[in-house]
Every structure is written in C-alpha cells, then in structure tokens.
Chains A and B, each alone.
Chain A
Amino acid sequence: MRRKSYVIPRRTLLKGAGVSLALPLLDIMSGNAVSGKDADRPPVRLCVLYKGCGVNPHSWDIVGGSETNFEMSRILQPLAAVQDDILVLGNLDNQGSSDHMDAPGTFMSATKHKDPDRYSFDQRVADRIGHETPIKSMQLTADNVWKQHPWLNILSYDRNNQPLRGQHDPQAVFNEMFRDNVRSGRQDDLLSVLDGVKDASSSLARKVSVRDKRVLDSYFDSVRDVEKSIQQNRQNSRASGFDKQLASIDPSLKVGNLGERIKAMLDLITLAFWTDSTRVVSCMLANTNSRSHYDFMGVNAEFHYVSHHVRNKQVLPDYDKINIWHTGQLRYLIERLKSISDGDGTLFDNSLILWGSGIKHGDYHSLTDLPLVVTGGGGGKIELGRHVRYPQAQPYANLLLTLMQIMGTDIPGIGDSTEPLSGITEKANFTPSNPDDGSWKIVKSDNETLTAKGLLRISLDAEVEYYQLRLSDNSDLEIRIPYMNNHKLRFDRCVGKVVTVTGKYKEEAGRKVVTALTKAELQTP
C-alpha cells in the first residue's frame, strides 16, 4: 500500500478542528489514487449507472458516420466534448419483455422478465474481487425512493437472488466508507456479541417449526456474513490514520434536490475509487417508473410522465431535455475521474463504466437496441472514441460477459450470453450500412415538387422537431410534414435509412423545405 499517495490538503484538515468551511467533497482529492497492494498495476473499478425511462430512439440513435468519425445525436450532445472517451453501442438486445418494476433487474442479469435468477453481473464480479477492498461492493440510489415500490430502485442482487438495496443518503455512503464503527474499533466487541448469541440461542432451533427454522437459518447466515466481512476488513485495513483524517472532514453532503443528489453520488463514486474503498459500484440515477420531478433542471414534469412520448407528442421536448441532462451527468463523472492520476494514467483509465437504460423506447418499453455507453479505459482494454452499431443484433448479455472478463474474472456466462462481444476491446471495422455513394441529392425539382434521395435523420432541435435528409454534399434538406401525412406513410420508420422522397416544397430563407410527402421509398440493400 502506498502511503505516500494520501495527500490531504491542509485547509480541509482545518475543518476537523471545528472550522466549518463548506468545501466540495472533491476538493480533498488532490493526490494520486490509492491503487491497492500492487502499485504498478492499478486495479480496474467497475461502475454501473442506470438511467431508466428509456429514450426517444430518434433523439438517441447516431445516424450515419463511421465507427470513429461520427456526429453525436441530440441526447449524446453533452458527451461531444469527451467523444474520444466513450464507446456508444447499438443493436444489442436484451431477452424477453420487461416492465417498470423489472427493468433494472433484467438490465443487470440479462435474464427474462420475472426470471427468479437475478444474480447481477456486478455482484458476480464483486464475489470474485470484493475481498481485496474494505467494502466488497456499494449500491447507491440517487433517484427518489418510493417505499411502496422498492423494486424500482434495486439494481444489484446477490448470488442467492437477494436484492441489495441502494443507499439513498450520501452522508451515509460517506460514513460507510470512512466512519464505519464496526471497522474502526468495534470489531472485537461485535464478534463477541455474535459469538454469545450463537451460544445462547443454540437450543432455539428445537423449539420452532421446520418452516420457522428456515427463516432463522437466514438470521444465522447473516451472522456468518458479518463475521466474514470483519475478517475481510482486517486483511484489507488501510493505512491507519487515513480513515480518521477523512472521517473528520465534513463532506458537505446535505442535498436538496435530485440533481444535487446525483452529483453527490457521482462524487462519492469518484471518492470510493480514489481511496480504493471498493471496486464495484452500482447506482440508480433514475428508475424506470420515476415520478421524480425535474424542475431543478428546468423541466416542470415527472420523468416517467414525459417518457410516454408517442401517445402525447407534446412532452417530447421535455423528455429529450431530461435525457440530455443525464448524459451531461455522465460527462461530469468522466471529467472527474480524468482529473485524478492513478498509476501512470488517470482514475478514468482504470475505471470501467456501463451507462444505460433497461429499456430502449420510453413509450413501448422495448428491450431491443438498448441505449448503452461504455466508458472508462478498463485498464487500457477498452478501445474508446467509437460508435459501434452491430450489423446483426447481438445478445446484450454478451456485453455483460465481456465486461466481467475485462474485470479479470473467468465467469463463463450470464443470462442468454453466447460468447464475448467483439468490437469492445478492439475496433469493430464493420462495413457501414448506409455508405454514401455520392448519389444523395435532389434528383429533380420543379416549382412545387421535388424528389430527393438521402439519409433520413431527425433534427437536433427537440422544440421544433423535423426530419432532415442528409445529402452527399453534407447539406440537410428539411422535411416538415403534418402528423397524418407522416402517419399514413409510416414515414417515421425510415429514420436512419437511405430513402427517396417525393413531395411539395417551399422556399424558406433561400432553403428548400419539404411540406408534404406523396411518396417515400426505402433503398433496398
């Protein structure tokens, strides 16, 4: 363990002496990250961020471009500044169907709706590497807690399919990391208490029914868990004094709204990785039935309400705004992790982050083509700065398998996985599905009508959504048509594909704008 890496600025230590300066938590992280016992090879840390409620596919999907040279979609715009640090994945399908309650569970285990097997992939990893850190794994819940429906917020399930509930209070997360009484001095006491209980309660099993005994077994399982974790903590105890220093800091984690809570959780993830408190974290940013109100970032509505955008088109701008805000949070985490050095690189290089939603389409709750971003260098194993859309749909489970392998485990499979996913650790080099052959242009036009061929996309402006035909000269032909016109032609289905359209147009500020369509033909591959 590299003690020299603990550098805590003097001014933060002032606070331990009773000077109450409200400093952002991250200000204390100015030294190198703590990288476990083998300082030359920093460990890889796994972080799963779940943002439920899906997306509007048109606003999410990247259309056109190549694997390494592509334009961010509307929702991915905030990540444009860190485009070289992310890997956007398309055409990965989870199996079965899903609903609000079940989406996080299916996302984490790649098992079918209501499948009792919920052993989540982060826990499969934690069960193998968790013994190396003081805390085996952490579960965080940033979204608001809805007590009647706790499943909504549960991501992680242990090997016995027991739900692991997320900690909702940032201060409690901090306390767990640095102020845990059990770790700091009460260990012997607690072991002795549990010993005594086992002894004194030994006759109990004889008095109760078979059914009750099974329940009591889970109590004694829990006793063993505590004993085991105390032993584990002893083996992994950190440099003495360090926890005390951190524990004495007031991390200013009083949060008001959801935005502040999410930021606090992302800071705590960074802190956990920096101090090597744990290497496995899952965090619920927004559940799939989130009644959370996003007025703190300018949308006066509930997330889940606006996610049903097909039946109620008016909510679409707000829906996109919220999702855009969320990708902005991912960018925040990326930048935080990049600002901290770790080994020869940064904490970011040694993190492996999966960001996504358990459903794709906010209104239809589809499980195909999930919206997914992989980021963090994975210890140098992830080839970043790419957009990979698989030509044929691949099992999403294969991605989880790959991530588990990058985490250094030899887990053979999960859910309906078949093999590790190609195109993650190396370039995919798929042939682009819609290559520009130079024929994308206005084929003919008269005073009123035109025919044009091009790649159909959706504008990046959610407030006034319209279609765009990308032409070979890199210009866009605008298509603004009434709902029923779109509906009857099922025009929306053509987005992302090369299409030839015929219709009326008008001139607007020197540009042609298509106002009604009579025909839309997909190019046959």
Chain B
Amino acid sequence: MNINRSFCAIFLARFIACGAVIALPQLMRASLGASFVEAARVIDTRCISCHDSETREAGIDLTPLLEKSNSSYGQYTRLWVKAEEMVSRGEMPPAEDGSLAVSERAAIEGWFEQSFVLRMGEPHVGPTPLRRLTRYELENTLEDVLSVTLKPPYRDTITGYLEKSTIQSLVPSDIPGESGFDNDAHRLGSLKPPLKEISEAVHFAIERFGDDEAAKRAVLGVDAIPDDLTDDQILDFISKFLARACRSDPERVKEYAAAYQRQYQRHVEVSLDCRKSLMHVFEMILVSPDFLYRIEETRGNDTPYPVTGWELATRLSYFLWSTAPDEELLRLGIDGSLLRNDVLKSQVDRMLNSPKRLALAESFAAQWLGFETLLSNRDFFVDERWNRETYDEVLFFFDELIESDRSILDLVQSDWTYRRASALRGQRHGYERIPSGYMKQRYADVLSERENGSNKKKQRYDPPVLVKTKDDREGGIITSAAIMRLTASKNRTSPIRRGVWVLNTVIGKTLEAPPDIPSLQEAREMLALNESPSVAEVIKQHVSRTECIHCHQAIDPLGLGLENFAPTGVWRTHYPDKAPIESSGVMPNGRAFETPRQMKQLLIDIYRDEIVTNFVARLLAYALGRQLQPFDRVTLESIVSEVKKDGCKVNTAIEQIVLSPQFRYRQDD
C-alpha cells in the first residue's frame, strides 16, 4: 500500500501538536471513495474461482470476504490482511491467470484501507492494552527500585552459564505472544500472573535490601532504619519507596502512601517490630498491581489522546531499558516537559548512551534473532565458554549498532564484527583490531553494572573484541557462529532451515508450510539422480516442481550460500564425508554470487526495503508490546521512510518509534 507522504506528515503533526482529533475535511484519500461493492466484485470475479469453499486452493477460502459485515476487525481480519497483501504485492492472482488491472487492485486496497487501516477515514492507534512486567523487566526493576544486585556477575560466568539468578529460578519465563516477544501485552494479560512465584522473588529481593546498607541509603536516605519510628518518618520512608516503585505522579504517591501507612500500622501492632513491618509494607508495594503492571489512567476516549508525562516516561524506559524510569526521566515526566519533542529526543539520546540500553540487545535482539536460545536451551550446548562467547558476539554486535549509530543493513553485511576473545589468542588470527582504548570504554559502558570486580585472571571471562572483518566470509549477524549454530542441527547443516531463517527473520517473509512433498526416493528417481547425490543436488529436487519453485528459488541459494559454515560456524570447504562444498548460487533476480559476502550484498540489493521495514516492524511491535495491526500501517510506513532518509540508522528507527503517535498516545475501546 502506498501511503501518501504528506498525509503522514499531516497525521503526525496533528497528533503531536494538539493531541485532539479534529476533522480534517481537506484530507482527500483514494480510500474515502472506496466501495465494498467494487472490492467484492473483484474478489468474486478474480479470486473465488480458485479460493471458494470447495476448491480452497492453498487451503484458502475467500468467500467470507464477500460479506460486508466481515470487513471489520474480527474473525476474518487475518484473511483480509492476507488477501490484501497478496494483491498489493502482485503475487495473486498468478501471472498465468492474468494480473489484476490497476483499478481492480485499487478497489481491494482502497476498501481494505478504509475498513482496517483507517477508522471513519482517520488514522488511529488502536486500543491500548495494559502491560505487565515480564520476568526480565521484573528483575531489572527490582534491582533499580531497591538499588541491589540480583543478577550473577557477568564476568564470572565461565563455569556456570546455565546458572540462573535467584529471580529467574523462582519465576517462570514468559511465553512470547503473537508479536514474537515475551513482553506481549495480550499474552501477559491473557494468562494469570504467577503470583506465588513473584511474591517469593520479591521476598528474596527485600531480604537482600534489608541487609544492604548502601541500598537503604540510596532508597531511604539512611544506612539503617532506627528502632523507633515516628509517624512522619514512616510516611517519609513509604513515600520515598513508593515514588521509586510506582512510577507515578506525586498525587497518586501521596494517596498510596496514606493507604500503605495504614497497612503498616495494622502490621506493627502485632509484630511490634517497626523494621519488620516496614519491610512487610515494602513487600506489599512490590507485589501490588501498581508495581507489577504499567497502569495508565483512562480518559475513556476512543479517539487517541496523549498519555501523561510519567506514563510516557514509563513507556520510554521499559522500551529502551526494560526497567523503571530513573530519577531524571521521571522528573521530566512529572513536570510535563517530556511531552515536548526536543526534551523527548534528548532523553532518548541520553538513554541510548547509558549502559542500561543493553536491554535492547538482551531482550529485543535476543528474542528477535533467537540467540537467547544459546543460553536457555541445553541442546545447543557446545561448551560453556563457547555458548557464552558466541552469544556475546551477537549481543555486542547489536549493541554496537546503537553505540556507533550504524545502519540496520549492517546486520546483514558489515566491514566490522565482534570476535570472541578465544579466537583472537595467538598471533596468527590476522584481524585488525580496533585500538584497545575504545574497547576498554565499551566494556566499561556495557558491563559497568555487571562487573564483579574479580581480578583473578583465571576466573575472568573476556568479552568479544571489535575487529575489522578480514575476508569474504564475516560481517553482519547471519554468518555469526551463533546463528549458524541455531539454524543447524548438532551434526549437520540444513540449507533449507538456514534459508528459511534468513527470509523469515531478516527479510520478514512468512512462508507457508509446503503441501505434499515427494519422498527423496521418488524425487531422486524423477531427477534420475544417483544413489548418493551431493547436498546441492538434493536441494535441487525441491525446485523440480512448479509448486515448489516459487518459495525455493528464494530459500535455496541463501541456504546453500551458507554451506561453508559448519554447524558451529567454523569455515569449511568439505563436508565431513570429504565431498566438496558448492556454495555459489544464483539469486531469484538472476544475479550470481561466489562468496558469502557477495551473497549478503545481493541480499541487501534485492531486499533492502524489506530488511529495513522488517526491522522497524519488529522493533515497533516490541515497543508497543503487541502484534502490529493494519491500523499501524500509517505510522510504520512513516517511520520507515524517515529511517531510509537518514541512512537506515538504527537509532533513527528507535527515535522515530518513540516520536510516533502509537508510542505517545492512548486509546480506549
């Protein structure tokens, strides 16, 4: 769908400037005149012959779309999305049946836009779901609110990468939702919170806090809680604690402070121990919904309205840091200045310069690219050091994109990369290192909060090192050891799995499972192959049939082009059975490649727009905590175009997401 650029500008400007929706009669859109009758006629004459309830080509029955009542959000939204996508990409109807005329396409796109993208001809942000803290966010937030350390020290992990923190072993991990991320509001909202486990985690954290003088100084302003407390002192402690824990305006903090003071009184009458009772009340606060959920006050308005300053501070902080806002951010939220563009931008800038931004790599990138599996799934275990090192190569790579404000396309191909320290020992590795001062700064940046200060060399784990890539192989994340391992089984590579991974994850193409596949034996006979064909020959069987070629001409060259990487990412020229590897190939556009670098360059040439759009879409879904919907299109396309104008920078994508109406506004049903 082609969204008019100036339209986006108007939309954004209006949202950002006044926040209230005024009817803009001058807004002329093709879709305003779209008619259901026209769209239905096109579907009926051009699609139904293959996709009726009996033929159901590819398992798709489009007859429900002929009902006007199905053109609104509900049971058939997905079907409409799919149909519109195929039509707008020009993939359906197939060329041999005659492509759609421009006017036919416009009829479907226009009706779709009017029904699903816009509402009453206006863009909107969709109903905002309530968000609960994930386990990862809970642990970070407890650390920050209580000023204690709960995670194991980073550098001390060679011997026990599987060792979980206490919080992680008490609280179950979260189930990712439709968005692909575990911070998915709809998934978290549809499941009961594991309250018993969360209570145990909070209890553990509070015990830590109680034993920690520095923490108490930071949170309450005293090293130790006196034996006797006056009412004012109690209220002061509770207020200070609530201000950190509840991410809210002073008024609400005041209201809650009074409520929790009553709880304190009730408890202390029985316990006769004011310290104990105070800790007890702190525990209540950290188990309360105001802490565990990101409560936003409703205005009961189904047109978008801006969230309050402290709500925006909270959204921003959980997006970039996966934790509660710090003092500065919350202050700017409470006094309202965060609602100004310039302040908001400078806060994004500040936050991306803070070590806490590592959350984007640890949570967003690790889930999107799936490399968290290296630490969480025992089956991908090579050895403790290897798993930690290869995980860190990608973690640091992603973080470097933000640190050095690099392009999204560097994810595919870059002239720099991170190499694990163990691969750089000795003189012959041949990498050009970045001056060590820079790396020291980087470690201090990234690891400052995780250092355990151990100076025993043997116990220390050395993080990966930034180097210039040296040959035609490395660069980007696709060819990293982590991804090569994740897309292979332990003993063999699977070119199809790797090709599909690249298309799904990096380019954002969803592929349908193939219909009846011939057996390898049959295919071998059909192709008159010998009994032990090479991998490339076997793969070619896939494209021997017309129904397969459509997907496999895109999948296969990508997978075969990566065959030089063994399951652990090590470069190889022969298979274990000594057969030589043929990794050259031809992309769907007919361009040939010889090396992985060339292949990755062609990937960028062919799929540049898709790669950028996919990155922005995933990051936006992560930021909003929900799967993107058609009504997000206007915003998505506007962000993508801003990002492309600015050299496809990762940080521009982050900033544009934060500035978008989806991120700053709220809407009720």
Q: Which residues of A contact B (CB under 8 A)?
A: 144-148, 150, 162-163, 165, 169, 172, 181-182, 186, 189-190, 192-194, 196-197, 199-201, 203-204, 207-212, 214-216, 218-219, 221-223, 225-226, 229, 257-258, 291-293, 295, 300-302, 305, 310-313, 483-484
Contacts and interface: CB of A to CB of B under 8 A. Distances in A.
A215 B192 CA distance: 9
Given A150-B175, A211-B669, A193 B284 contact: yes
B293 interface: yes
Given A147-B377, A148-B370, A182-B200, A221 B192 contact: yes
A212 B299 CA distance: 12
B169 A200 contact: no
A459 to B, nearest CB: 20
Given A145-B376, A210-B669, 5 more contacts: A147-B176, A222-B194, A223-B195, A305-B489, A313-B520
B297 to A, nearest CB: 5
Nearest to A229: B196
Contacts of B376: 145, 147
Contacts of B192: 162, 218-219, 221-222, 225
Given A147-B176, A293-B489, A301-B491, A204 B290 contact: yes
A215 B130 contact: yes
Given A209-B668, A211-B668, A215-B130, A165 B175 contact: yes
7 contacts: A162-B192, A165-B175, A182-B196, A196-B266, A210-B668, A215-B129, A221-B192
A300 B195 contact: no
B377 A169 contact: no
B191 interface: yes
A364 to B, nearest CB: 10
Contact of A165 (B172, B372, B379): B172
Contacts of B256: 200
Contacts of B525: 484
A150 B195 contact: no
B490 to A, nearest CB: 4
A489 to B, nearest CB: 15
Contacts of A193: 199, 280, 283-284, 287
Nearest to A205: B289
B193 interface: yes
7 smallest beta-carbon distances between A and B, as pairs: A209-B298, A212-B130, A215-B189, A222-B195, A200-B259, A196-B263, A196-B284
Interface in B295-321: 295-298, 300
Contacts of B377: 144-147
B195 A225 contact: yes
B580 interface: no
Contacts of A212: 129-130, 295-296, 298
B611 interface: no
A186 B281 CA distance: 15
Contacts of B283: 193
Contacts of B519: 310-313
Nearest to B181: A148
B173 interface: yes
Given A148-B370, A210-B669, A201 B489 contact: no
Contacts of B260: 196, 200
Given A199-B263, A207-B295, A293-B489, A218 B668 contact: no
B295 A208 contact: yes
Given A197-B287, A300-B490, A311-B519, A219 B193 contact: yes
A292 B379 contact: yes
A201 B289 contact: yes
A306 B43 CA distance: 43
Contacts of B132: 215
A199 B288 CA distance: 10
A212 B491 CA distance: 48
B288 A197 contact: yes
Contacts of A215: 129-130, 132, 189, 293
Nearest to B669: A211
Contacts of A165: 172, 175
Given A208-B130, A226-B196, A163 B191 contact: yes
A196 B281 CA distance: 8
B89 interface: no
B500 to A, nearest CB: 14
Interface in B147-200: 169, 172-173, 175-176, 180, 182, 189-196, 199-200
**Interface-centre pick from B180, B193, B372 (highest chain A CB count, 10 A):** B193
B280 A189 contact: yes
Contacts of B267: 192, 196
B203 interface: yes
Contacts of B255: 203
A191 B519 CA distance: 61
Given A193-B199, A211-B668, A219-B293, A144 B378 contact: yes
A483 B521 CA distance: 9
Contact of B193 (A208, A222, A484): A222
Nearest to B267: A192
B193 A311 contact: no
B372 A147 contact: yes
Contacts of B173: 147
A291 B370 CA distance: 15
B627 interface: no
Contact of A219 (B195, B203, B492, B668): B195
